[in-house]
Amino acid sequence: MLKLTALALSIAFLVSSAPAQTPAKFTKMDVTFSTGGDDKDPDTRLELFIADHDGAPAVAYGDVRGQGCPENHTCGPFTVNPTAGGFLLKDYKAEKIIVKITPNGNDTWRFSFVAVLHFTDGTILQLAVPATSLDQGTRTGVYSLAGAVKQTK
């Protein structure tokens, strides 16, 4: 009986003295593109967002200007940093990666990409998006993080 009480007390102590868990937060995303048979012109602006949907306030943002992505080569990694609020790891499935191009005149870009997201607890999410394309008519692609592969440290 004494032993049980001591055990109960030590458990109570452990619980009460455990530090409050800080929820894991997004720290950065690195995106590497593989260009197929049609390049991205150097003067086609590339913007990368993480947001709930296209048009929603971005929780991460990156702006790439003056850099081309030549045919049959990789370009990047481009680092995308959190904006003011960022987001929590537990909420990642609701978030989307949004790739937006702003061509000067015409440009078609055929590409695939791999996005690697980092979190404060060491968790890494990786999303691989197969071949797709954007052009002056379709400037925005939206890719859900729900299918990302999670690696926990």
Q: Looking at this protein, which amino acid is placed at residue 2? A: L
CB contact at 8 A, 87 and 145: no
Output 42 or 57, the one with its CB closest to Ca ion: 42
Distance of closest approach, residue 69 Cβ to Ca ion, in angstroms: 9
Report the residue number, 39 or 95, with the smaller CB distance to Ca ion.
39
Length of the chain measured in residues: 153
Closest CA to 127 of 106, 87, 99: 99
Read off φ and ψ for residue 93, nearest 5 degrees: -65, -20
Structure tokens at 65: 């200007």
63 phi/psi in degrees, rounded to 5? -130, 120
The binding site for Ca ion (CB under 5 A) comprises 38-39, 41, 104-105, 107-108
- Say how many C-beta atoms besides its own lie within 10 A of residue 27's C-beta: 14
| Residue 35: CB minimum distance to Ca ion, A | 9
Q: Output the smallest distance, CB 94 to Ca ion, in A.
A: 33
CB of 109 to Ca ion, least distance (A): 5
Nearer to Ca ion, 120 or 136 (CB): 136
Q: Which is nearer to Ca ion, 70 or 122 (CB)?
A: 70
